[in-house]
Chain A
Amino acid sequence: MKSPSTLKFVLAASALGFSFAGAAQAQETIKIGSVLSATGPASFLGEPEDKTLRLYVDKINEAGGINGKKIELVVYDDGGDANKARTFATRLVEDDEVVAMVGGTTTGTTMAMIPVFQDAEVPFISLAGAIEVVDPVREYVFKTPHTDKMACEKIFEDLKKRNLTKIGMISGTDGFGASMRAQCIKVAPNYGMEIAIDESYGPRDSDMTAQLTKIKNTPGVQAVVNPGFGQGPAIVTRNYAQLGMTGTPLYQSHGVASKSFIELAGPAAEGVRLPAAALLVGDKLPENDPQKKVVTDYKQTYESATKQPVSTFGGHAYDGLFILVEAMKRANSTDPQKIRDEIEKTKGFVGTGGIVTMSPTDHLGLDLSAFRMLEIKNGDWNLAQSGS
């Protein structure tokens, strides 16, 4: 029986690693925490966020840190599980004693962690999409990604310009898809949109032709909107072309905003429109666009370091980190309360997602202009000519 000792050894070794990690904190560092879904069903969001944070914290430290102090980044992987996220949040606040947190990949994990940071009065910049993260406004909670409500509004705005009012919807039943679907149904009347048919698919489904056939056979559908993230929208887009539906405009959401969507969907992606951050079309922005420099720099840095195409998800982490860093510089302090106050005063911050101006009643600080309507042409993102 050598097994129990083997197990004990492993346990002891990990416990040791555990306490060393705790003891290794130098005096003159600023601890920033992060809980991300680097594995699990939202890993393609969490992974670029993880890489972005590590990459830029190293860069900031190489450049001398913040006000002379280096940043120590503590990252935990919640695997997309809200209960785990909650535990790691407690760990960050109680054990690691971080001064602020940038993380929370999904709305579910973010919502589960919010009470921890509110109670501990530690600022929390979330990377999750849904509007309920910042509505109602909570004192210590901020977020960087555009809300799903804004995505619906941007899409409907574009549809209205094209005089298309009767739409079909096909949504993922994951958190992202379900939340955006609900928002779209809510704001549709404001834009005179009629949702003629409302279908859905599971987060891991591999064939959506059945649902799309139903949409195809619904009379009068002028456009189709697909709230969803992950591989689902790519399969929807491919099935859409397979069924010969490309005559009807297809709108994807900001949940597919990485180049891999175009690669996965292939030629079927031609003509697909979606609202997304300027990051995806950095090279096509006019020279005088205020975001041009930020987004091309980030894209270049991220792609050369990771050898992976840039995504807006990593961009959200970049924005969150730098909103925090600038707030800490202004506060010239590591007091969470002071940092929180300065985050709320963020004004005219140029990020990858847009120009951020927060206020006590707005902890997102982006408006519809932060979204660009993109169209996929020749296998690349392009700014859509509105009204065409």
Chain B
Amino acid sequence: MRAFANHRFLTLAILAAVIAVLPLVFPSSYYFRVASLVWVSALAAIGLNILMGQAGQVSLGHAAFFGIGAYAVGIGPAHLGIPSWAALLLGAALSAVLAYLVGRPILRLKGHYLAIATLGLGVLVALVISTESGWTGGPDGMPVARLTLFGWRVSGSDTWYWVTGGLLLVGTWIALNLDETPTGRAFRALHDSEVAAQVVGVDIARFKLQAFVIAAVYASLAGSALAFMNGFITPDQAGFLHSVELVTIVVLGGLGSVVGSIVGAAVLVTLPQALTVFHEYEHLLLGLIIIVSMIFMRNGIVPSLSALFFQRARS
């Protein structure tokens, strides 16, 4: 167990160091913006990874919670007079409650049926957001008031870099800890075999639901952070394609690997930025890279590379 605790501490320390050192090599605040996007996507992906990697449940509608978080901080201050920070908490609470309520029946479903049910949930939420334009501004989106904390107006790419970086650190810390708690062990048992887990007395339904709620809260917080950062939000963020992107990040980085989610987010967020030089070949290359990496690193980038590394180290 001690080794695991150290491993956890090391991971956090490396992540903190990376976040602290990166700005030294950033030539412009555009890089702060891209890095902040990585941190935000990573946060959402880490949450989803708890559901997918540890509890073994696929969600194809996870952007719905991202959207709820984002629109909560848009609608709260604009229409309901709620302060931004309270709207953020309210969004997270709303996501948790929604996840809890729909999670109960949904999580009874297995495998691809769970995927389609979450997909349906995602479609419903996205549709409501883009239709109720009186509240949400419709498909063209709505502006989001800046976040003010104790009189400090949070704005600017570099400020948001530190705020989202800090959020990611906290999120990573919680996820790593979760890994080693009885809950985390239960999750892993679930991933390996539901029936077996049940037989040894794991309350499957409860743990699945817990994972779903935690994942929803992560996504909601990430959505709120992005909305504040952009000052503007559109229904795309709650849409099917964004859900697919989140799943891709998790799988590409490595199911069940917290670090993998961060690496996956880094790859999938920066890749389109790097590929713009290829103009119309951008999508072709993006698809190709996803296919090739999944074929050769089928367990995800981080697990596959670390397996390779340990193999080399041993021989």
Binding site for B on A (CB under 8 A): 1-4, 6-7, 10-11, 14-15, 17-18, 21, 38-39, 76-77, 80-84, 86-88, 90-91, 93-95, 106-108, 111-112, 114-115, 130, 132, 173-175, 178-179, 182
A108 touching B141 in the complex, CB below 8 Å, given contacts A4-B305, A83-B226? yes
Q: Does B130 have its Cβ within 8 Å of any Cβ on chain A?
A: yes
Q: Does B180 have its Cβ within 8 Å of any Cβ on chain A?
A: no
Q: Does B77 have its Cβ within 8 Å of any Cβ on chain A?
A: no
Q: Which residues of B contact A173 (CB under 8 A)?
A: 130-131, 139
Q: Closest CB-CB distance, A185 to chain B, in whole Å?
A: 11
Q: Are B289 and A7 in contact (CB under 8 A)?
A: yes
Given contact pairs A4-B305, A6-B292, enumerate 6 new A-B contacts (beta carbons under 8 Å): A17-B277, A84-B272, A87-B34, A94-B157, A106-B140, A178-B138
A124 to B212, CA, bound (A): 43
Q: Which residues of A contact B139 (CB under 8 A)?
A: 108, 173-175, 178-179
A83 to B233, CA, bound (A): 8
Contact of A112 among B130, B232, B278, B280 (CB under 8 A): B232
Interface majority SS on B: helix, strand, loop or mixed?
helix
Q: Does B237 have its Cβ within 8 Å of any Cβ on chain A?
A: yes
CB nearest to B157 among chain A residues: A90
Binding site for A on B (CB under 8 A): 27-31, 33-34, 37, 130-131, 133, 138-141, 143, 157, 226, 230-234, 236-237, 271-280, 282-283, 285, 289, 292-293, 295-297, 304-305, 308
Q: Are A14 and B277 in contact (CB under 8 A)?
A: yes
A76 to B282, CA, bound (A): 11
Q: Are B273 and A83 in contact (CB under 8 A)?
A: no
A15 to B296, CA, bound (A): 22
A15 to B277, CA, bound (A): 9
A87 to B38, CA, bound (A): 12
Q: Closest CB-CB distance, A200 to chain B, in whole Å?
A: 9
Contact of B296 among A3, A38, A88, A182 (CB under 8 A): A3
Q: Closest CB-CB distance, B31 to chain A, in whole Å?
A: 8
A-B contact count (CB 8 A): 122
Contact of B138 among A86, A91, A175 (CB under 8 A): A175
A90 to B141, CA, bound (A): 19
A76 to B277, CA, bound (A): 9
Q: Are A178 and B226 in contact (CB under 8 A)?
A: no
- The contact sample of 9 A-B pairs, CB cut-off 8 A, is A3-B296, A4-B297, A21-B277, A81-B236, A83-B37, A83-B226, A90-B30, A111-B141, A175-B140
Q: Closest CB-CB distance, B222 to chain A, in whole Å?
A: 12
CB nearest to A93 among chain B residues: B30
Q: Closest CB-CB distance, B161 to chain A, in whole Å?
A: 12
A130 to B138, CA, bound (A): 12
Q: Which residues of B contact A14 (CB under 8 A)?
A: 271, 274-275, 277-278, 285
Contact of B276 among A76, A83, A90 (CB under 8 A): A76
Contact of B232 among A21, A93, A115, A179 (CB under 8 A): A115
A83 to B278, CA, bound (A): 21
Q: Closest CB-CB distance, A46 to chain B, in whole Å?
A: 12
A6 to B288, CA, bound (A): 12
CB nearest to A113 among chain B residues: B232
Q: Closest CB-CB distance, B42 to chain A, in whole Å?
A: 15
CB nearest to A76 among chain B residues: B276
Q: Closest CB-CB distance, B164 to chain A, in whole Å?
A: 14
Q: Closest CB-CB distance, A135 to chain B, in whole Å?
A: 14
CB nearest to A179 among chain B residues: B140
Contact of A4 among B274, B279, B296 (CB under 8 A): B296
A108 touching B234 in the complex, CB below 8 Å, given contacts A6-B296, A174-B139? yes
Q: Closest CB-CB distance, B64 to chain A, in whole Å?
A: 16
Q: Are A112 and B230 in contact (CB under 8 A)?
A: yes
A213 to B118, CA, bound (A): 33
Q: Are A83 and B236 in contact (CB under 8 A)?
A: yes
Q: Closest CB-CB distance, A107 to chain B, in whole Å?
A: 4
A31 to B237, CA, bound (A): 31
